[in-house]
Amino acid sequence: MKNLPEKYLSKIKTMKNIILTTSGLLSEYGGNIKLEIGDVHYNQNTDKVYEIVFELSLTDVYCPECDFEPSMVSRIIEEIIAKILKGCQFGLTDELQFKNSYNSTRGVLLYDCKLWRDNFEKITFGIFIDPGQNF
């Protein structure tokens, strides 16, 4: 990521803002949310970005009845993933130009989860975006 040109870094920051605001997670979790760049695959020879990985972490997420109903754990995780995917409904060219005609988000993975009774102390997701692709 050290070799990533500034023109791409500014577009990645815009993507972060889009994901946080359109997913509704920023308004729901406020200061308990952190979205960082995990990895960027960039080819200097072709000046193209092939993959962007974001890491989204939430802290102190209330999970009603998770201490008694294990199925609630997966339900809360699925709800958060659905919100993340809603926030990632944008297409990108491999030069990181936004295109509304398709979706470049490959998927969301659950990276880490620390649950204590009825509270997720920390839950982390990986967001995989492939510019120039349509999923």
Instruction: For residue 52, give Cα distances in angstroms to 62, 72, 96, 107.
Output: 29, 31, 10, 11
CB 107 within 8 A of CB 36: no
Helix (H) / strand (E) element for 128: namely strand 119-129
2-40 pLDDT tens trace: 678 899 999 999 999 999 999 999 999 988 999 999 999
pLDDT at 2: 63
According to the model, what pLDDT value does residue 78 have? 96
Enumerate domains of the chain plus CATH numbers: 6-129 (3.30.70)
Rounded distance between C-alpha atoms, residue 3 and residue 125, angstroms: 25
Instruction: Enumerate the β-bridge partners of residue 33.
Output: 58
pTM: 0.92
pLDDT digits (tens, 9 = 90+) for 49-89: 999 999 999 999 999 888 888 899 999 999 999 999 999 99
